[in-house]
Chains A and B, each alone.
Chain A
Amino acid sequence: GAGVSQSPRYKVAKRGQDVALRCDPISGHVSLFWYQQALGQGPEFLTYFQNEAQLDKSGLPSDRFFAERPEGSVSTLKIQRTQQEDSAVYLCASSALAGGSDEQYFGPGTRLTVT
């Protein structure tokens, strides 16, 4: 596709529900990143994939957060038993090269609101 797409764009979940956020990176991009962005803050790193391998998940805030990229293209970020503090914009980015030393192309984000 022309760019990185994410779905849904907006998600409202009741506390305790599970949610799944999808990212479609630019075709052929090796690296895929997930970030969490709170209002008025910069994106915070969550996790990084090189093809299908999850090489860094040091930013995931708890074991309720899980990400996968099984075929090295589309990725899903899953949050189990959502809490109010999970409310944020979740951004996905992809880059052509491995290791994050390249410019990153961001999707529009998914705004998650936990009530």
Chain B
Amino acid sequence: SQKIEQNSEALNIQEGKTATLTCNYTNYSPAYLQWYRQDPGRGPVFLLLIRENEKEKRKERLKVTFDTTLKQSLFHITASQPADSATYLCALEGTGKLIFGQGTTLQVKP
């Protein structure tokens, strides 16, 4: 069956460092992948979309890679700030709908 895995443990880093979050999937060949941010008590907020023919995409301090051979996406936040603390969700396209991972909680300490 289709499966998406994100780091289940929270990621704690120091302000100014680069945070790297991982999304692995199996039994999938998604046409695209999306990353969302979710704060407590709120709905997810779209960050980036990357297509299967794109290796990397950037937006300000954010960078996403998509390796369809490894079946993995990496999400990087450079020069991290305490305001980046949140849960980050990866989502893969699956027959016209999004299939979400369980999310990774990032805590950036000042």
Tell me the number of A-to-B contacts counted with CB atoms below 8 Å.
Answer: 58
* B1 → A minimal CB distance (Å): 14
Q: How many residues of A contact B (CB 8 A)?
A: 25
With A40-B102, A42-B89, A109-B43 in contact, is A103–B96 under 8 Å at CB?
no
Q: For residue B97, which residues in chain A have a CB less than 8 angstroms away from its CB?
A: 33, 45, 48, 56, 59, 100
Which of B14-22, B44-52, B65-73 lies at the interface with chain A? B44-52
Task: Place the interface of chain B in its size category.
Answer: 20 to 34
Q: For residue A4, which residues in chain B have a CB less than 8 angstroms away from its CB?
A: 43
Within A32-67, the residues touching B (CB, 8 Å) are 33, 35, 40-45, 48, 55-56, 59
Q: For residue A33, which residues in chain B have a CB less than 8 angstroms away from its CB?
A: 97-98
| B96 and A48 contacting across the interface, CB-CB below 8 Å | yes
Which residue, of A48, A103, A105, A108, has the highest number of chain B Cβ atoms within 10 A? A103
* A88 → B minimal CB distance (Å): 13
Q: For residue A59, which residues in chain B have a CB less than 8 angstroms away from its CB?
A: 97
| A45 and B46 contacting across the interface, CB-CB below 8 Å | no
* A65 → B minimal CB distance (Å): 16
| From B32, B45, B103, contact of A42 by CB (8 A) | B103
Q: A42-B103, A59-B97, A108-B42 are in contact. List 14 more A-B contacts (CB 8 A).
A: A4-B43, A33-B98, A41-B103, A42-B100, A42-B101, A43-B44, A43-B89, A48-B96, A99-B96, A100-B97, A101-B32, A101-B93, A108-B41, A109-B43
